[in-house]
A and B are shown apart, each in its own frame.
Chain A
Amino acid sequence: MGNVLVVAEVADGKLRKTTHSAVTFAKEAAAQLGGSYDILVIGAGVDGAAADAAKLGAGKVLVADDASLTNYLAETYAPTVAEIGKGYSVVCGTASPYGKDLLARVAGKLDAGFASDITSLLPQEGGKLTYKRPIYAGNAFVVCQLASDVEIVTVRQSAFDAAAEGGDSPVEKAAVAGASAAKDRIEWVNFNSVKSERPELAEADVVVSGGRALKEQFYEILDPLADVLGAAIGASRAACDAGYCAPDLQVGQTGKIVAPGLYIAIGISGAIQHLAGMKSSKVIVAINKDEEAPIYQITDYGLVADLFKAVPELTEKIKAAKA
């Protein structure tokens, strides 16, 4: 028997949806281990997030709430996560920037094996949890196991459905561990947030993504189409590097990994690194004036056209088709 701890992600006092994918993994892993899963909510003033977490079917929700945890730093969070986590067989989270930053540090503290960004939990082999994760930009997968008392896992959000809400788990206070020496040498200075009313990229049913070809008209062209579709906006690396949009919109191997029902790539040629971030989408559409663009090797529907004409036309016609 063994139990699983999910490290929740909190933003603006609320539970982030990234957490729900880790919970789905935790449910599967706990079932295989014949145990249960708990959720750790860590931060300052996180009662609201804890209440959200209590609806996710956990054995219990642990709350480590302390003023010293007001602004997230791995240096302050990792000691508490490790202290609580060492009583579990598996400590997991989602491979968002938060999960990647924090859980790797927890793995170091616990001298534990770490399987990052897994896309599935396979049936046990040799009585051990067995994970599958993509390598080489998704051009191969490796099946792996971990050899440590506590196993650390982050899951790819787009590969695990969000856990449904239901139930009312008991909420308990958890102790906050002493911070590390490193903590005294780091200072949280400022968060320059880029607010968007659109759905989160990793959670959207439709993603409209733009490339460098859009130039300064990136939003002018994409916004109306995204509005009509209720879509999130994504981008190629080239568009982000050129400053046409925020860096956290980058879809790709080392950016956001998405798998929406519909992905529309506009003016994106389809570098391997970009394909790695979106090729699990259900339906893929590309609009590009270069008919040889590699993106067409994986699209369901390709339209070879001048995007500056085709996208506004598409926007109007989708609006009409949905009316």
Chain B
Amino acid sequence: MKVLVPLKRVADPDNANKVKVPADGSKVDTGSLEWKANPFDEYALETALRLTEDGKAQKKRLGEVVVATFGPKDTETTLRAALATGADRAIRVDVEDEAIDGLLVAKALAKIVEEEKPDLVLLGKQQVDGDTNQVGQLLAELLDWPMATFAGTVQEEDGALLVGREVDGGQLDVRVKLPALVTVDLRVVNPTSVYSKVTDKEKFKYAEGVRFAPLPAIMKARKKPLDVKKLGDLVSDTAQKVKYIRYEAPPQRKAGEKVADVDTLVSKLKNEAKVL
């Protein structure tokens, strides 16, 4: 199986409360926050790796995983990290972060899909900076492919995937024939969430979470192929449909008081907050 995994770097999401909006609202200043791969995209990569291997013999890759990102030269760090983790090739679409929106990314990815012909496109369900939750769905529609969003489980079958989708009120199982598109949710990296056809799901369990690149792999990743494309070569009309006009800081909530015991808490809730 050949899998395309689009990735995005984001400002360290565990310190997102440190972003600042200047008084003129011209930008979100992420200051000195480190770039990290979007966590959901890391889960998509882990899913792609699990689907292209026998869990018991992971060194022998049984498929191809191509990663792609959009951004300036320094986003190649994110791609190299993905290559070190196990991806085979990388593509960077050279563009400034501010010049793209979800639909443009989806259109450019549709063109890459046309060129690369993957059996599966795997993405995170959302980017934790813009939080738009749309690129996967847009891309599936542009390709007229079946999709399974918010995947918690993925099981490979012959020419198809059985996907458990996390939705309101429970889990919805759908079967998509390849080629197809899947966006992944948090639970997809649990030990028994994803199995390729060759991994013995009765006997094999993955470690919790995503795998990390061993040091020799980081060295080797520097030699793996990384192509650079221009957005204009992939999409003819590069006008954005979503216009960001300005940014605003959120209202601040200040810490209240610590109460001494349960009695005080109940009394405050009843008499002061009046919520009982």
Contacts and interface: CB of A to CB of B under 8 A. Distances in A.
A111 to B, nearest CB: 7
Given A182-B144, A283-B273, 11 more contacts: A97-B167, A108-B140, A117-B132, A140-B28, A141-B249, A143-B246, A145-B245, A188-B174, A189-B162, A189-B174, A303-B258
Q: Which residue, of A107, A195, A275, has the highest number of chain B Cβ atoms within 10 A?
A: A107
A114 B247 contact: no
Contacts of A105: 137-138, 140-141, 147
Interface string A254-272: 1000000110000000011
Task: List the 3 closest A-B pairs by CB distance, nearest first.
Answer: A108-B141, A104-B137, A113-B241
A208 to B, nearest CB: 13
B244 A144 contact: yes
Nearest to B11: A136
A94 to B, nearest CB: 11
B76 interface: no
Interface string B165-187: 11111111111110010000111
Contacts of B147: 74-75, 105, 182, 186
Nearest to B139: A108
Main secondary structure of the interface of B (DSSP, over half): mixed
Interface string B244-276: 111111100101111101110110111001011
28 contacts: A74-B149, A98-B168, A104-B138, A106-B141, A108-B106, A108-B142, A113-B101, A114-B138, A114-B241, A117-B131, A134-B250, A135-B129, A140-B250, A143-B248, A145-B243, A187-B174, A192-B171, A241-B187, A246-B170, A253-B128, A262-B273, A272-B13, A273-B13, A283-B275, A302-B258, A303-B261, A317-B263, A318-B269
B26 to A, nearest CB: 12
B19 A117 contact: no
A285 B152 contact: no
B238 interface: no
A101 B103 contact: no
Nearest to A75: B146
A139 B19 contact: yes
A44 interface: no
Interface in B121-162: 125-126, 128-134, 136-142, 144-150, 152, 162
A143 B245 contact: yes
Nearest to B240: A147
B243 A146 contact: yes
B269 to A, nearest CB: 7
B16 interface: yes
Nearest to B146: A186
Contacts of A298: 253, 255
Given A182-B144, A254-B125, A303-B258, A191 B171 contact: yes
B102 interface: yes
B242 interface: yes
Given A116-B133, A140-B247, A135 B28 contact: yes
A116 B14 contact: no
Nearest to A273: B13
B190 A262 contact: no
B213 interface: no
B17 interface: yes
Interface string B218-255: 00000000000000000000011111111111100101
A113 B107 CA distance: 13
B186 A237 contact: yes
B186 A136 contact: no
A144 B241 contact: no
Contacts of A180: 144
Given A113-B103, A114-B242, A247 B255 contact: no
Interface of A: 11, 73-75, 78, 95-98, 100-101, 104-109, 111-117, 125, 130, 132-148, 180-183, 185-195, 206, 237, 240-241, 246-248, 250, 253-254, 261-262, 271-273, 275, 279, 282-285, 291, 296-305, 310, 313-314, 317-318, 321-322
B58 to A, nearest CB: 23
B138 A108 contact: yes
A115 B245 CA distance: 13
Contacts of B102: 114
Given A96-B168, A113-B241, A143-B245, A135 B141 contact: no
Contacts of B250: 134, 138-141
B32 interface: no
A194 B164 CA distance: 14
B150 A97 contact: yes
A314 B276 CA distance: 12
Nearest to B273: A283
Contact of B146 (A139, A182, A241): A182
B103 A111 contact: yes
A194 B138 CA distance: 29
A148 B239 CA distance: 11
